[in-house]
Structure 1
């Protein structure tokens, strides 16, 4: 029933209005003044209010003002009753928020007509308001379950859908696969081409995955550059491997974005229901673990979950914990692999390589602990330890009158973040050890260079101005567009061993190596061939004009004392 509140200080008129409205079927309340009327409106929240203007204690204007300030009464239709006929009075009433006014005297028809008009408008507005609330609720429900950029289901909806898919598979005795996908080196796209293109690439990736996914399956964006898929009714492992390879191939095709041809690869982890696990959390954990394994070991590849990964994960945690203690216990040693000049055959320097002298496991190689150091953030501290050790060793050799040439030390991409103050760290170490900056070479990979190109140029330019040499390590395995070389302050290119190992038998590797050497020389850069293991390789590299070599043919990495002995003896190629 519609409730109407009548606020009128003249009792006879109030009773007359209330009687008329009651006769028309309204539920009617009465108040003798504005103070009582405001309180009754707050208590009963009527559907409409009829109010006199001239009243003692609180007039109609004050009553309306008080009601409009309260959230639950602010929208109630309000009709003024007034004997005032001046336009200024009526304008004031409307400015305060009145919906209508009746001038005394008025007829029952006038009153009922005004009420009907106001209630009809109010109901229309209320229905529209409720429709908007319903639409907003639906929109909120959608946004809470979908990614705003790609419109794919998000993590929440993926978890819910996976639970339903598992239930369906259990009932129907079917298998399903959960895939976790991570885009390799996506941050390089953002840093080099900008976040706008990065966002467009996300949309393009999402669209490819959406079109590939069957209607009964699902693809979701979990976070950042991580996506996930549910593939139902899997026949066997081979079928899901074939499907996953198709996805890798699909994502690796070029993307044309704002005139840029962009390439991206991905790493995918796979787990199967019911073989690997039968619950949502377990399957997701398995798929993530397999994905991280693929990402850390090869990239642009997939890994099928196996219980061995849990063991490896436990080993990783144990290694990470031991790594912290190893730093405090000074368990790291520096080995030196000679760098040989191909013209003179003499040692002209060495690459400094960290080894972990574990008290129980013996020597642990860098390929075991460097990835852990990178992921735990200990790589910064480890590199600083190595740099101090190398510079102190150079001071010792210098004091003994040994010509060691220069020492090359590898850097991590984490050093090229604004907060890590690489320039200050290098400067401090050189000053404290009295090392000539020209005796130090810093090595970094192509991928590190491209992570934050603008900052990297600034840092390397400053270091080179100090006299420190800069080398690109593992050259040819990263972007290899070569165009960045003219922008970056670089002294040396190191050809990756993967091109050197078959250089005498594979004409493609030979051609690539020769091209790198000729390009480097055209840019006045030195070239070092890594991983040289045979005399035939050396002969061909000499023929190509390579400047220096490094590898087991001449010497493996050696402890400082053995490298020192080699220097004293003047060992040559």
Structure 2
């Protein structure tokens, strides 16, 4: 017996071992569940908070815009009234009592945020109509000759009504709503200030300067908004819950808030005339803990989304700016606590887990004799946790001895599964569908195809349409976010009218829609569909506030495909859509196999072009510019060539368009300009004629760069090249891009001493208007006219007219593409001064120029 005790010494009993094992398994299982739940919950909360906050921000911004739009409209109406009827000599404002009352009471009866409209003259007269918020009653405020220049508050809308209050020293001109605008003569929003009324509330005003018919400044008109009004709206927000919404101004002071705050002391009435702005509560002093905690984050001006912990709870927030051109610079802050997103789910989960833990401990203490039967359901509970992690929301715990405790465990997991299932079903729907139009998203389209193929494995689609909106972004910027969404829905509704049965319709990008046409759709119907889709953009869309004309283009892939080939067909349709957009608005293009090959070649060529910059594979060739009177070489045009290590000498017509498209034209163009100036500067130092002129082409993308002028100036200084030896050639199309900006830059360049030549004149947007607007020093006739003008009377007439035009502007003319002696002689006879072309010399590096050309020689005399 003693020996047996010795053998058992240090060993645990079976009861303890089984119980301990059970407890360890239970703890591990619950730990895994809690970990997975916390991780999934955190991700779900972030995604859900962003969507909820985005909706709340949109609602607040929309209503705030409505609140702020009324004062500007009221000001315009009062301005029209006063400018027509008011005279600076008027000291009696009685004729404005009823019109003012009509504007506030009749025009804006429901705009209760508009608490007062007023006018203060340059002489100190004052008239206003005030709205009492709770009763919506209106009353007159007046200061003029009839009131002995006292400010009277009347019970009604007429000066004959009883006087409720009276101030003897009121002058509108020093008031915050008058003085800044009177000084700047520009409409503006005031800072918050305390009003003179009975409530002495905090007000912001939209003030506008007022002029009479002779454009003499006669006073200021202002419309007031009580901040308390918007506080009430924020508190009544249906989505506020336990969160907070507030608006701060430039100084991080609370403009409006949804929280109940202790009001700050009001400024005494005697001090008001010198008051510039009211003292407002700062977020850090708020009675609301969430607002107070978020206050420190607002000092970072560029902050947008943020989160922080408060009393063990996660708070999610977003800052959204609200600004206009009239001095308004506010920020909306939305705060949503975690409990508003989860509701009672977190508490229920904790209770459920506590129940599970209690049941497990109870079972370990009282049911150890039947532990073998109980172990199986517990192990299945662990398997359930794994299923939850895989988002399999309908687990079932079964097998073994079904005691009450294990049944409760099963129910607890079922409740957890159902709660998570609802949340993730909603999330999955938002992923699969576009939230604006309700159409399938790109991911949703693929999943929808997968589900169809599961039911019908042989299912295929015959054609794919990719519809791209041509000018949506500019329209969206002009009509706003809300009407932009309305426009998208209207476009979708139009397209839905022409959807074939069983077709799939999806929005795969911001401005692109996909329609997958089912099998057995013949070519005739396909052409008909293309026409219907394009015709749907031929008429304007009537929105709530605007009528909008938007155009669309169409890329079509006519080939049978299934869900596996969808991505390839979308790529092919995108290539076709790009080709269609190159044609212009409301165009379509059917995908051809050659498009993919061209796209691949273009990508490879752009990559080689980028590498060529680093490898220094570009060369500058110079073609002589000749004076026709004596055949003397007086200048040269710099032309870029690409000496590729793989392709040899690549023609400019091949790589220049790609450089323009890819943006590589900027480094290439800068290199050509710098290298041309370097080589010419060296030749001038070695004895070339001091008036030798080098022409360098400049692309529109180069010219519109903000630092182009500085780079040009730096190049001239680097090589000590006189600006008078450089001419920049620009095409006519550049002058149309942004005429004001281009005109200013051209003027600066010419003041520097660099000449400007208009290249390819006559082939683009030739217009007397831009010739009059832009200063230039030279015209160049395009070679397309010169090459045929000897055989074509119309071409000769055009060339002759351009020569006379240049003479009228007193600028030299250069004829391009001269290839024969006859052309050169005829141009000279018509009065053309200069020329270039193969007849005089082909483009070549300067080191290969004949000795006779070198800055002072001749390329060959005219006979």
State the shift of 1:425 in Å: 0.3
Aligned counterpart for 1:176 among listed residues 450, 463, 470: 463
Contact 2:631/2:858 (8 A) holds in 1 = no
Contact 1:205/1:251 (8 A) holds in 2 = no
After superposition, the Cα gap between the structure-2 partners of 1:299 and 1:469, relative to the gap in structure 1 and judged at 3 Å, is farther
After superposition, the Cα gap between the structure-2 partners of 1:440 and 1:205, relative to the gap in structure 1 and judged at 3 Å, is farther
Query: How many angstroms apart in 1 are the aligned matches of 2:859 and 2:631?
Result: 9
* Residue of structure 2 equivalent to 1:363: 649
State the shift of 1:511 in Å: 4.3
* Residue of structure 1 equivalent to 2:699: 412
Contact 2:743/2:773 (8 A) holds in 1 = yes
State the shift of 1:270 in Å: 4.3
Aligned counterpart for 2:834 among listed residues 540, 545, 548: 548
Aligned to 1:442, the other structure's residue is in SS state strand
Matched, 1:429 2:676: no
Aligned to 1:274, the other structure's residue is in SS state strand
* Residue of structure 2 equivalent to 1:216: 499
State the shift of 1:341 in Å: 2.7
State the shift of 1:507 in Å: 4.7
Contact 2:743/2:774 (8 A) holds in 1 = yes
Contact 2:814/2:832 (8 A) holds in 1 = yes
Matched, 1:438 2:724: yes
Q: Equivalences for 1:63-78 in 2 at 5 Å?
A: 71=241
Matched, 1:274 2:560: yes
Q: Equivalences for 1:264-413 in 2 at 5 Å?
A: 269-274=555-560, 279-292=565-578, 304-403=590-689, 405-413=692-700
Question: For this pair of structures, how many residues does the alignment match?
Answer: 420
State the shift of 1:178 in Å: 2.8
State the shift of 1:558 in Å: 1.3
After superposition, the Cα gap between the structure-2 partners of 1:458 and 1:197, relative to the gap in structure 1 and judged at 3 Å, is farther
State the shift of 1:291 in Å: 4.3
Query: How many angstroms apart in 2 are the aligned matches of 1:552 and 1:198?
Result: 56
Query: How many angstroms apart in 1 are the aligned matches of 2:846 and 2:698?
Result: 20
State the shift of 1:265 in Å: 11
Query: How many angstroms apart in 2 are the aligned matches of 1:399 and 1:318?
Result: 42
After superposition, the Cα gap between the structure-2 partners of 1:317 and 1:174, relative to the gap in structure 1 and judged at 3 Å, is closer
Aligned to 1:555, the other structure's residue is in SS state coil
* Residue of structure 2 equivalent to 1:560: 846
* Residue of structure 1 equivalent to 2:744: 458
State the shift of 1:293 in Å: 5.2
State the shift of 1:353 in Å: 0.9
Contact 2:508/2:514 (8 A) holds in 1 = no
State the shift of 1:214 in Å: 7.3
RMSD of the alignment, in Å? 5.4
Contact 1:335/1:354 (8 A) holds in 2 = yes
Query: How many angstroms apart in 1 are the aligned matches of 2:441 and 2:829?
Result: 57
* Residue of structure 1 equivalent to 2:761: 475
Aligned to 2:602, the other structure's residue is in SS state helix
Contact 1:337/1:556 (8 A) holds in 2 = yes
State the shift of 1:347 in Å: 2.3
Q: Equivalences for 1:73-222 in 2 at 5 Å?
A: 145=434, 175-176=462-463, 178=465, 215-216=498-499
Contact 1:475/1:496 (8 A) holds in 2 = yes
* Residue of structure 2 equivalent to 1:37: none
Deviating more after overlay: 351-360 vs 483-492: 483-492
Aligned to 2:779, the other structure's residue is in SS state strand
State the shift of 1:357 in Å: 1.4
Query: How many angstroms apart in 2 are the aligned matches of 1:512 and 1:209?
Result: 50
Q: Cα deviations across residues 507-528 of structure 1 (Å, max 9, x unaligned)?
A: 5544444444443433334333
Q: TM-score, normalised by structure 2?
A: 0.40
Query: How many angstroms apart in 2 are the aligned matches of 1:439 and 1:216?
Result: 65
Query: How many angstroms apart in 2 are the aligned matches of 1:518 and 1:252?
Result: 45
Q: Cα deviations across residues 522-563 of structure 1 (Å, max 9, x unaligned)?
A: 333433333333445445544543333333333322122223
After superposition, the Cα gap between the structure-2 partners of 1:386 and 1:70, relative to the gap in structure 1 and judged at 3 Å, is closer
Query: How many angstroms apart in 2 are the aligned matches of 1:252 and 1:540?
Result: 51
Query: How many angstroms apart in 1 are the aligned matches of 2:492 and 2:806?
Result: 41
State the shift of 1:500 in Å: 3.5
Query: How many angstroms apart in 2 are the aligned matches of 1:343 and 1:219?
Result: 70
State the shift of 1:451 in Å: 2.2
After superposition, the Cα gap between the structure-2 partners of 1:159 and 1:509, relative to the gap in structure 1 and judged at 3 Å, is farther
State the shift of 1:355 in Å: 0.9
Query: How many angstroms apart in 2 are the aligned matches of 1:73 and 1:393?
Result: 70
Contact 2:460/2:560 (8 A) holds in 1 = no
What are the ranges of 5 or more consecutive residues in structure 2 without an aligned counterpart? 1-234, 245-425, 540-549
State the shift of 1:396 in Å: 1.8
Aligned to 2:465, the other structure's residue is in SS state strand
Q: Cα deviations across residues 51-77 of structure 1 (Å, max 9, x unaligned)?
A: xxxxxxxxxxxxxx9xx9993799xxx
State the shift of 1:366 in Å: 1.8
State the shift of 1:273 in Å: 3.1
Query: How many angstroms apart in 1 are the aligned matches of 2:562 and 2:825?
Result: 53
After superposition, the Cα gap between the structure-2 partners of 1:384 and 1:173, relative to the gap in structure 1 and judged at 3 Å, is closer
Aligned to 1:528, the other structure's residue is in SS state strand
Query: How many angstroms apart in 1 are the aligned matches of 2:712 and 2:536?
Result: 44
Matched, 1:487 2:773: yes
Query: How many angstroms apart in 1 are the aligned matches of 2:572 and 2:735?
Result: 33
Query: How many angstroms apart in 1 are the aligned matches of 2:444 and 2:825?
Result: 59
Aligned to 1:493, the other structure's residue is in SS state strand
What are the ranges of 5 or more consecutive residues in structure 1 without an aligned counterpart? 1-64, 75-136, 254-263
Q: TM-score, normalised by structure 1?
A: 0.57
Query: How many angstroms apart in 1 are the aligned matches of 2:764 and 2:460?
Result: 46
Deviating more after overlay: 402-411 vs 436-445: 402-411
Query: How many angstroms apart in 1 are the aligned matches of 2:435 and 2:770?
Result: 39
Contact 2:656/2:665 (8 A) holds in 1 = yes
Query: How many angstroms apart in 1 are the aligned matches of 2:556 and 2:815?
Result: 38
State the shift of 1:324 in Å: 2.9
Query: How many angstroms apart in 2 are the aligned matches of 1:276 and 1:352?
Result: 54
After superposition, the Cα gap between the structure-2 partners of 1:234 and 1:448, relative to the gap in structure 1 and judged at 3 Å, is farther
Contact 2:467/2:552 (8 A) holds in 1 = no
Q: Cα deviations across residues 316-364 of structure 1 (Å, max 9, x unaligned)?
A: 2322222333222221110112223333333222111111111232111
Query: How many angstroms apart in 1 are the aligned matches of 2:742 and 2:444?
Result: 39
Query: How many angstroms apart in 1 are the aligned matches of 2:529 and 2:759?
Result: 35
Query: How many angstroms apart in 2 are the aligned matches of 1:72 and 1:523?
Result: 74
State the shift of 1:235 in Å: 5.3
